[in-house]
């Protein structure tokens, strides 16, 4: 005769089963981390992403009690490094220091990626936002404001060039956004990094650039480059006299790169929560905030769920810019 269970017995059995299934995850959280972690930076050493990643890595090592090895895997606007992390073991020991490029822009630029690739990761925490700044070499481009730059470009009618550290960067797409908004004939000059792009701007080989504030700031402060506008929503403390693009006649022109920590999809929730708490602790420290501010960035802290939602909003934002620019998938 089949055995029957009361509703109370059924609920008790379900609770016991749930607790049993949760034991491995709880055990993993209790022992995590038990060995060194790897924080993969999908860009070359020396850039703002690498600098901030090393700050986070050092802080995580102290917070978690295990070494955090920072590894640089550049290529394809960060897509190569991001793909490597997505395919790694989902145990919390291989992490990605993601950016607007890897998480929000690349899915609209590369044929082998799509919006679905946003689900290849567990979102740990967002830590910084780093806006761009529109700069010129006045000896080459004799203007002092965005309005003067546009007038100068219309007088020349064609051929004005803007540099970038590579296809698909927020620097490149900021230039494309200006191009589509003004209908000017502007020529994109891609470089292999910010350093050669800024060098050619100083040397007079290109006309302007929307560069990340971090590498551009020393040249602005030394007078080698003239800042016309910043792409942040508000003026930056480091450049209080420089207006925003919004103030310069472009009310929706807000662009920035950003940095956050991610893990492969399927990383145990308890491990994600441990990493989230540690990352937010690091990023909320006065030392971290001071260092990011000195780089021209803005500390921006979002936990796991908010970071995931933010990334999806950013994906739609950049997809619209890419579509307006008519850029084909690579």
Last residue of a domain, one of 215, 230, 245: 230
**Same domain as 150, residue 105:** no
Buried b (16+ CB within 10 A) or exposed e, 314-325: bbebbbebbeee
Residue 161 belongs to a domain: yes
**Residues 290 and 267 reside in one and the same domain:** yes
> Both 271 and 193 in a single domain?
no
List phi, psi (to 5°) of 128.
-145, 160
CA separation (Å) from 156 to 20, 149, 207, 260, 275? 72, 11, 12, 41, 53
Question: Closest Cα partner for 162 from 228, 78, 232?
Answer: 228
Same domain assignment for residues 148 and 172: yes
Output the CA torsion sign for 287, 134, 163, 176.
Answer: positive
In this structure, are 289 and 146 located in the same domain?
no
Radius of gyration, alpha carbons of the chain = 23
For residue 157, is it within any domain?
yes
The pLDDT score that the predictor gives to residue 195 is 87
Instruction: Classify residue 162: in a domain, yes or no.
Output: yes
Q: How many Å from the N-terminal Cα to the C-terminal Cα in the chain?
A: 66
**Domain closes at, from 214, 230, 246:** 230
Same domain (yes/no): 126, 262 = yes
Strands 37-41 and 186-190: unpaired
> Beta strand 186-190 with 121-136: parallel, antiparallel or unpaired?
unpaired
Split into its structural domains, the chain has a count of 2
Q: Is residue 185 part of a domain?
A: yes
The answer as to whether 11 is a domain residue is no
Domain that holds residue 194: 132-230
Question: Is 242 inside any structural domain?
Answer: no
261 plus 214 within the same structural domain: no
Residue 7 in domain: no
Structure tokens belonging to residue 314 = 């950013």
Do 287 and 303 fall into the same domain? yes
Clarify whether residues 107 and 61 are in a common domain.
yes
Q: Does a structural domain hold residue 247? A: no
Tens of pLDDT along the chain (330 residues)?
Answer: 445 555 566 556 555 655 555 555 455 556 899 999 999 999 888 888 999 999 999 999 999 999 999 999 998 889 999 999 999 999 999 999 999 999 999 999 888 878 888 999 999 999 999 999 999 999 999 999 999 999 999 998 677 999 998 888 999 999 999 999 999 999 999 998 888 999 999 999 999 999 999 899 999 999 999 999 999 999 999 999 999 999 999 999 999 999 999 999 999 999 999 999 999 999 999 999 999 998 888 899 999 999 999 999 999 999 999 998 888 777
CA neighbours closer than 13 Å in the CB half-sphere of residue 178: 32
Domain containing residue 142: CATH number: 3.40.190.10
Question: Domain holding 97: CATH number?
Answer: 3.40.190.150
126 and 34 inside one domain: yes
Give the SS3 label for residue 14.
Answer: helix
Co-location of 41 and 98 in the same domain: yes
Task: Find the largest Cα–Cα distance for the chain.
Answer: 95
Boundary-marking domain end, from 230, 246, 273: 230
Domain identity same for 61 and 153: no
Query: Can you give the pTM of this predicted structure?
Result: 0.84
Report which DSSP code applies to 140: T
């Amino acid at each position: 005769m089949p055995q029957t269970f009361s509703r109370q017995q059924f609920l008790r059995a379900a609770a016991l089963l749930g607790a049993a299934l949760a034991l491995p995850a709880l055990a993993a959280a209790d022992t995590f981390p038990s060995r060194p972690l790897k924080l993969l930076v999908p860009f070359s050493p020396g850039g703002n992403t690498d600098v901030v990643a090393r700050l986070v890595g050092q802080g995580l090592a102290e917070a978690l009690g295990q070494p955090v090895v920072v590894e640089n895997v550049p290529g394809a606007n960060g897509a190569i490094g991001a793909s490597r992390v997505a395919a790694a073991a989902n145990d919390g020991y291989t992490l990605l220091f993601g950016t607007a490029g890897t998480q929000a822009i690349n899915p609209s630029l590369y044929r082998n990626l799509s919006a679905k690739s946003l689900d290849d990761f567990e979102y740990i925490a967002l830590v910084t936002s780093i806006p761009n700044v529109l700069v010129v070499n006045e000896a080459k481009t004799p203007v002092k404001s965005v309005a003067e730059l546009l007038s100068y470009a219309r007088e020349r009618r064609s051929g004005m060039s803007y540099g970038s550290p590579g296809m698909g960067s927020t620097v490149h797409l900021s230039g494309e956004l200006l191009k589509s908004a003004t209908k000017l004939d502007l020529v994109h000059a891609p470089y292999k990094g910010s350093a050669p792009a800024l060098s050619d701007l100083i040397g007079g080989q290109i006309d302007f650039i929307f560069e990340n504030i971090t590498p551009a700031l020393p040249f602005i402060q030394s007078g080698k480059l003239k800042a016309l506008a910043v792409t942040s929503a508000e003026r930056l403390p480091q450049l209080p006299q420089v207006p925003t693009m919004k103030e310069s006649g472009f009310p929706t022109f807000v662009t920035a790169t950003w940095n956050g920590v991610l893990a492969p999809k399927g990383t145990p929730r308890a491990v994600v929560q441990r990493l989230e708490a540690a990352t937010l602790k690091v990023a909320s420290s006065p030392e971290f905030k001071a260092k990011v501010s000195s780089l021209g960035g803005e500390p921006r802290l979002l936990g796991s769920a908010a970071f995931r939602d933010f990334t999806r909003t950013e994906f739609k934002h950049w997809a619209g810019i890419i579509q307006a620019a008519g850029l084909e998938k690579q």
